[in-house]
Amino acid sequence: MELLNSAVVDWSRGQFALTAMYHWLFVPLTLGLGVIQAIMETIYVKTGDEKWKKATKFWMSIFGINFAIGVATGIILEFQFGTNWSNYSYFVGDIFGAPLAIEGILAFFMEATFISIMFFGWNKVSKGVHLAATWLTITGATLSALWILIANAWMQLPLGMEFNPLTARNEMIDFWAVVSSPVAINKFFHTVYSGWILGSLFVLGVSAWYLLKKREVDFAIKSIRIAAIFGIISSVLIIWTGHGSAKQVAYHQPMKLAAMEGLYEGKSGAPLIAWGFLNPEKKSYADNVEPIVLAVKLPKVLSWMAFGEADAFVPGIKDIIDGGYEVPKIDPRYQDRVPVRADGTALSFDEKKAMGQRAQTALSNFLKAEKEKDTVAMAEYKSILDANYKNFGYGYLDKAEDSIPNVPLTFYSFRIMVILGGAFLLLFLIAAYLDWKKQLHKFKWILWVFILFIPLGYLATQLGWVVAEVGRQPWTIQDILPVQAAVSGIQSSSVKITFILFAVLFTGLLIAEIGIMKRQIVKGPKIEEKADKNDDSDTY
Amino acid sequence: MITYSFLQHYWWFIISLLGGILSFLLFVQGGQTLIGSIGKTENERKLLTNVIGKKWHYTFTTLVTFGGAFFASFPLFYSTSFSGALWVWMLILACFILQAVSYEYQNKPGNFFGRNAYRGFLFFNGLAGTFLIGAAIGTFFTGSEFLVNKANIAEFSGQFAPVISQWQHPLHGLEALFNLRNWLLGLTVFFLARTMAVLFFKNRIKDNNIEGRLNGALLKNAVPFVVFFLTFLIWTLLAEGFAVNPETNEVYMEKFKYFNNLIQVPALLILLLVGVAGVLYGIIFSMLKSTWRKGVWFAGPGAIITVTTLLLMAGFNYTAYYPSTYDLQSSLTIFNSSSSYYTLKVMSIVSFLIPFVLAYIFYAWNALEKNHATIDEFKEGHSY
């Protein structure tokens, strides 16, 4: 099939990845720090202790610096669906636009309104109202995450819609199905917890620096206490949502799971690869080369994690392309989303591609018949379209390899994320223990470890998105629309220019942000010393 | 029974209203272009910055919501205009990105670019953001060059497969600047934003030196605003418009289409007159009585009503709101570009929450504006 210049697709993907990853540098800290500062202000309001107020205000100043650049990098993401993914915007805009609009109406305004009271209202509203504004700011930010993750989850598991050939697009038929999608709910909590963990790591690391410098000791210990407890709770919760996420991927995106595990040949009682190296000798999904070397395997764990049974069959990449394996039973609400052969086994790539092409030809013929007002032909083509639509997107793919995501990126990202997640829990437990034993100041090297874990927190949360998004390639909408057919009709040179524009712009702003944050941290909350009245550098 | 057509009209009204509110809130951008000329000392500039700085989130959020609501209710516009008029939208986005950090970062130590750079970003946002939004909206009346063919999605080959919306001008949006009427609307929005900013400053600031300069600035900005606006309005009312045949949905050129819309839908005419009267009343009485501070509360709602009505005029009464001069039949109307009945219905239910949102905005706005702003207020504590 003659599709668009692949450079447009690659650069558009690159730009989306660039802007989304930049945005995601700032959002998790907003989500985590927002809750931590709200907890601190709650303690201040309850106890009346001014030290807690100063601690709150310090973390709020960091929050403000981070929030501004989060807003700056966020606006492009919304409009980018239109600028670079115009076909996508039309093809699924009837469903996808709604959560974005609701995010604006219900979440952004809540954030925008109450953040002004949070920053400017200290002496203008009562303590209680101010506290409410602080909580409502973070509630708004979290609701914003909810709506955008509902939208993202829908791309991974498209529910509550049907294709309307008259308008040549997908249309929403069940809003509740979109909103209450199990993938959306799990993704929301998993993502928010990752923000909470990052916020905790950040507070832990910055506070450790004060302890090392022997400055603001009381403030630092108070902050570490809150961060450690909050971090432990978040880390335990994220294990639960992570497991939920693995199960959902196993059922709804088996190719992603196979890529995450580097699993080419499916197995019953499949082991989980705790660590291993991808074999560079493996050139094709169909060769018999062992894909992973030096693997540390946990027997049967993958089967159990994915399907709840130690001997369950987990299909590999080759199985998914060849078809013929028995499709696992899933929640009957979603069972008919995946067409199978008459004997209940999975379709091969070629069969799916044939279905996709039949659906596309039927749509083309339907639209021609509609122009000629031939209602009999329209009905006939619609029935062909309906019967084949669930694999519509495969019609755009050339060969089986096109349906495989980047395995190394997905495989390593997943492992590093999980290992780091475990390390974070351990770190929070150590912090809590040392605080409890009042020994934090005695272990300088551990305080340094706390600091070094801040960038690792960022790395882990970025890698989570790499697994989620790279792992689902080539699909913008699972099985319905691949990236090749989702882009805009623009020149690749245009996308290169905007890519460079955003790369330069965001990098410049990031440098500024880091510079300001560093100075703000060095300056500190000034709880133990009297602030210099003439020093107005904490003002904008 | 709520019909599909009713929902399409309702959502065009919501989009128009958001556009109207945005046009008023662009006073923040207008104010950003005035900081240097009205503030002569650093303290004065700081005061001016902070008075509008407490409101920048609202403008920004309204712009984002305007985009989101447009996406949800008229997705074909979203896919056609944003990819097609790419450079105009990218420039608008770039200058709003710069704005979002500039208030917070400008006076912070370690900010890398230095304070003047951030002030420069704010000025650029105020100038380019307002002008380009105005020029982009101008194309709602003057047209653009694009082709829409839904069948492309299922085409296997050919120049346009599989992209549905294809822009036909190589400048991808910048060609809007070849049209004088787009310039007029761009300049109208720019001077409107500055005029509103002056009225807002007059309302908020208690400082003799600044207040004196504001009176001069009002004249310098309000006069060009009125001249550009009236020229654009009269030209548009006299020009050919993009009409839709209610029976066949065919788009055709109609003489005096927008004027006819006002005559055939008298409510629009009344709204337009009320809106314009509000704007002029706010401006003229502020000029006549230099101590009167309430001008913005007449001119602001007036601007909202006027711009809302202009957008309604572009989409109601069987008019193509985003016309294609390349292929008239590709023009977007509220009927051929809207979301499905179900989606519009769901979104309409969501829209009932808007008054609740407005209520807490009203509360928060008032909570922070109990007293007039003075230079002393921003010397300590959290300020920009």
Distance (Å, rounded) from C-alpha A82 to C-alpha A102? 17
Distance (Å, rounded) from C-alpha B113 to C-alpha A502? 17
Distance (Å, rounded) from C-alpha A127 to C-alpha A148? 32
Neighbours of A411 (CB within 10 A): 24
In a domain, B229, yes or no: yes
Residues of A in contact with B57 (CB under 8 A): 71, 111-113, 115-116
Instruction: Give Cβ neighbours of residue B282 (< 8 Å, ≥ 6 apart).
Output: B199, B295, B296, B297, B298, B299, B300, B302
Residues of the domain holding B360 = 4-378
Which B residues in the span 172-191 are in contact with A, Cβ-Cβ below 8 Å? 172
List residues bridging with A171 in a β-sheet: A162
In a domain, B206, yes or no: yes
Distance (Å, rounded) from C-alpha A43 to C-alpha A286? 60
Q: How much is the pLDDT for A6?
A: 84
Say whether the peptide bond before residue A474 is cis (omega within 30 degrees of 0). Answer: yes
Residues of B in contact with A100 (CB under 8 A): 68, 71-72
In chain B, the residue whose alpha carbon lies closest to the alpha carbon of A132 is B364
Phi-psi region of B209 (alpha: psi -120 to 50; beta: other; left: phi over 0): alpha
In a domain, B175, yes or no: yes
For each of chain A's 540 residues, which pLDDT tens digit applies?
445 578 999 999 999 999 999 999 999 999 999 999 999 999 999 999 999 999 999 999 999 999 999 999 999 999 999 999 999 999 999 999 999 999 999 999 999 999 999 999 998 999 999 999 999 999 999 999 999 999 999 999 999 999 999 999 999 999 999 999 999 999 999 999 999 999 999 999 999 999 999 999 999 999 999 999 999 999 999 999 999 999 999 999 999 999 999 999 999 999 999 999 999 999 999 999 999 999 999 999 999 999 999 999 999 999 999 999 998 877 777 777 889 999 989 999 999 999 999 999 999 999 999 999 999 999 999 999 999 999 999 999 999 999 999 999 999 999 999 999 999 999 999 999 999 999 998 999 999 999 999 999 999 999 999 999 999 999 999 999 999 999 999 999 999 999 999 999 999 999 999 999 999 999 999 876 554 443 333 333
B213 touches chain A (CB under 8 A): no
One-letter amino acid at A254 equals: P
Distance (Å, rounded) from C-alpha A309 to C-alpha A325? 17
B330: DSSP letter = G
Instruction: Kindly report, residue by residue over A217-263, the tens digit of the pLDDT.
Output: 999 999 999 999 999 999 999 999 999 999 999 999 999 999 999 99
Calculate how close chain B gets to A398, using CA atoms only, in Å.
Answer: 12
Residues of B in contact with A115 (CB under 8 A): 57
Residue count of chain B, please give it.
384
Q: How much is the pLDDT for A169?
A: 97
Distance (Å, rounded) from C-alpha B39 to C-alpha B245? 54
Helix axes B296-315, B4-25, angle to 10 degrees: 140
SS (H, E, C) A145-174: HHHHHHHHHHHHCCCCEEEECCCCEEEECC
Give the three-state DSSP class for A478. Answer: coil
List residues bridging with A277 in a β-sheet: A293
One-letter amino acid at B325 equals: T
Question: Is A260 in contact with A471 (CB distance < 8 Å)?
Answer: yes
Q: How much is the pLDDT for A333?
A: 75
Whether B72 sits inside 8 A of A65 (CB atoms) is: no
A433: DSSP letter = H
Which B residues in the span 24-63 are in contact with A, Cβ-Cβ below 8 Å? 49-50, 53-55, 57-58, 60-61, 63
pLDDT band at residue B155 using 50, 70 and 90 as cut-offs: confident
Task: Provide the token pair at B195.
Answer: 């005029």
Q: How many domains does chain B have?
A: 1
CA atoms within 13 A on the CB side of B114: 3
Closest C-alpha to A292, from A414, A419, A403, A459 = A414
Q: How much is the pLDDT for A540?
A: 39
In a domain, B384, yes or no: no
* Average pLDDT, rounded, for chain A: 94
Instruction: Give Cβ neighbours of residue B52 (< 8 Å, ≥ 6 apart).
Output: B27, B28, B31, B32, B197, B200, B201
Q: How much is the pLDDT for A2?
A: 42
Whether A71 sits inside 8 A of B60 (CB atoms) is: yes
One-letter amino acid at A215 equals: R
